[in-house]
């Protein structure tokens, strides 16, 4: 699948052959389908061997061999072994130029908000949650909490509170009396709680009433 997409980019296409270009974010599943492996380390090149570190940012097992038709450990050399994956180092014997095309992926420990949905004007996330970009950034950057469920308190859903207020409300009402979260995980939960179908119907009613 990945090779087919890359081959498509290599083809020369006349401007008259297409009517429009559409850009959109790739889903996590799509990214994984294009990936040749997971990058697990921040290391790049080993300073002693001068070879790419395994599972690092330049990993030969993920991105391909450093030398044409030669695996990393040197067990397989020359063109006659092309296509073979070395059972010792796990590197495919092929051309080194594949390193320019192949992609890896990183598994994130926690959700991260994409800057296109956060910073672009109008901010898609801020609009959906009826927030200002400033308040949205405070939650994303772990500066303040957002109320997910007010529960038994006098707080409002979507209200922004400081850490001191969060502790104060916990002491006053109890830890399980309400739910407030911080970071991209909190924004993700708020978005999941939106009933899109119900909101769509309500917007149609509001539009009809304003005519």
Per residue in 54-103, pLDDT (tens digit) is: 999 999 999 989 999 988 888 888 888 888 899 988 899 999 999 998 99
The verdict on 120 and 92 lying in the same domain is no
Q: What is the pLDDT of residue 52?
A: 92
Cis peptide before 122 (omega within 30 of 0): yes
Any domain includes 153:
yes
The pTM score is 0.65
Q: Single out the residue in 78, 105, 132 at which a domain terminates.
A: 105
Any domain includes 14:
no
The verdict on 75 and 147 lying in the same domain is no
Beta strand 103-105 with 35-38 is parallel
The verdict on 129 and 60 lying in the same domain is no
State the total domains in the chain. Answer: 2
Any domain includes 3:
no
- How far apart CA 181 and CA 167 sit, in angstroms, is 12
Q: What is the pLDDT of residue 136?
A: 92
Task: Tell the residue number behind the tokens 């990058």, with chain if given.
Answer: 39
Q: Domain residues for 64?
A: 27-105
Any domain includes 4:
no
Q: Output the CA–CA distances (angstroms, integers) from residue 179 to 146, 166, 186, in the order listed.
A: 9, 10, 10
Any domain includes 205:
yes
Residue 87: helix, strand or coil by DSSP?
coil
Q: What is the pLDDT of residue 62?
A: 92
- How far apart CA 74 and CA 35 sit, in angstroms, is 25
The verdict on 187 and 156 lying in the same domain is yes
The low-confidence residues of the chain, meaning pLDDT below 50, are: none
Any domain includes 15:
no
The verdict on 72 and 133 lying in the same domain is no
What percent of the chain lies above the pLDDT cut of 90? Answer: 27
Q: Single out the residue in 63, 87, 105 at which a domain terminates.
A: 105
pLDDT digits (tens, 9 = 90+) for 103-113: 999 988 888 88
């Amino acid at each position: 699948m990945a090779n087919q997409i890359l081959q498509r980019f290599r083809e020369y296409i006349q401007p008259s052959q297409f009517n429009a270009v559409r850009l959109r974010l790739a889903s996590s599943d799509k990214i994984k389908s294009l990936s040749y492996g997971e990058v697990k380390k921040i290391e790049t090149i080993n300073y002693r061997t001068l070879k790419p570190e395994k599972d690092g940012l330049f990993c030969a097992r993920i991105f391909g061999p450093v030398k044409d038709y030669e695996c990393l450990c040197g067990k397989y050399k020359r063109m006659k072994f092309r296509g073979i994956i070395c059972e010792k180092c796990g590197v495919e014997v092929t051309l080194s130029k594949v390193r320019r095309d192949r992609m890896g992926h990183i598994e994130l420990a926690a959700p991260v908000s994409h800057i296109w949905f956060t910073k672009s004007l109008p901010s898609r996330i801020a609009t959906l949650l009826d927030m200002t970009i400033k308040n949205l950034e405070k939650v994303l950057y772990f500066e303040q909490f957002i109320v997910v469920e007010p529960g038994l308190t006098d707080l409002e859903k979507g209200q922004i509170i400081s850490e001191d207020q969060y502790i104060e409300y916990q002491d006053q009402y109890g830890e399980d009396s309400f739910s407030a979260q911080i970071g991209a995980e909190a924004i993700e939960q708020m978005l999941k709680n939106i009933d899109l179908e119900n909101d769509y119907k309500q917007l149609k009613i509001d539009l009809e009433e304003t005519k």
